[in-house]
Amino acid sequence: MSTVILDGKATAKAIRRELKKEISTLDYTPTLAVILVGKDPASTVYVSSKEKACKWAGLKSINHHLDASTDSETLRNLIIKLNNDPTVDGILLQLPLPSHMDEESLLMEIIPEKDVDGFHPVNQGKVLLGATKGLIPCTPYGIIELLQRYDINPSGKEAVIVGRSSIVGRPIAALLISLNATVTVCHTKTKDLKFHVSRADLLVIAAGRRNIVDSSWIKKDAVVIDVGIHRLDDGTLTGDIEFDQAHALASAITPVPGGIGPMTIAMLLKNTVLAAKLRRSN
């Protein structure tokens, strides 16, 4: 059986095309406010990709690029202003914030209805309670959407997730439970990572560490989702696992780049359109 490449780039493009069509039928323009504090190079690239994607699909993005020395109160006041602005549908606070700011409390300031990243405890809580629709955190949402578009049903599968962060590991675990997978979540205190990885029908690796999962551990015909992103010294991007050997064993696998990264941006746009529609239906 030849291995299917789960093409996040092409799938994200298809989603953006669908959104563009949908937006053209609306009598308003869904609007995303993007806040970037400082000039972290990776964040600047992410924000510019998100802004470009919005423009392409017909969403409006309003950019608030603040100096790295901005104090927390100024940022808090900006978020409150955007919460109260009826022309704004979604608010994106690009992380990481400068070290003098408390990310958690500032993220919580965004009202759940405009939390298009899906990080607010209300939106995370809904996912934990079984929601698979709504403002779902973008990266896990992108994983689920990619699986669905390739007709990969997690139901009944042994799903193993490496990583338990609040933006990837925990919400993807909750979503996969809702989709009837049997889920194991691994982390730095997991005793035998190889044991868990080698019995996964569906493996999601989101550790942010290269090669902690040896590709040779992968079960034959597993579906492998590599969320990690690393820039090598020569400038190329790579994921958490060594691709070639994983590709030889898997039935389907995401590439890096071109896998979960573009899907995450597409889901941000999808969440913004959903937030715009929900606000107007209430």
- By CB under 6 A, the count of residues binding ligand NAP is 25
Residues 6+ apart with CB under 8 A from 128: 170, 171, 174
Give min distance, CB of 205 to ligand NAP, in A.
8
Q: Would you call 116 helix, strand, or coil by DSSP?
A: coil
The one catalytic residue in 89, 115, 117, 240 is 117
Nearest to 89 by CA among 282, 281, 278, 263: 278
Question: What whole-number distance in Å separates Cα of residue 128 and Cα of residue 122?
Answer: 10
Annotated active-site residue 71? The verdict is no
Annotated active-site residue 220? The verdict is no
134 or 208, CB closer to ligand NAP?
208
58 or 261, CB closer to ligand NAP?
261
Amino acid at 212: I
- Indicate whether 30 belongs to the interface with ligand NAP (CB under 6 A): no
43 phi and psi, to 5 degrees?
-65, -40
- Indicate whether 59 belongs to the interface with ligand NAP (CB under 6 A): no
Q: Which residue has the tokens 């040896």?
A: 214
Q: Would you call 2 helix, strand, or coil by DSSP?
A: coil
**Interior angle at CA 136, CA 200 and CA 112, nearest 5:** 150
Among 3, 83, 165, 251, which residue interacts with ligand NAP (rule: CB under 6 A)?
A: 165
Annotated active-site residue 50? The verdict is yes
- Indicate whether 140 belongs to the interface with ligand NAP (CB under 6 A): no
Near ligand NAP in 180-219, by CB under 6 A:
186-190, 193, 206-209, 212
- Indicate whether 255 belongs to the interface with ligand NAP (CB under 6 A): no
**Interior angle at CA 260, CA 154 and CA 95, nearest 5:** 120
228 or 255, CB closer to ligand NAP?
228
- The contact set with ligand NAP (CB under 6 A) reads 139, 162-165, 167-169, 186-190, 193, 206-209, 212, 227-229, 260-261, 264
Catalytic residues: 50, 94, 117
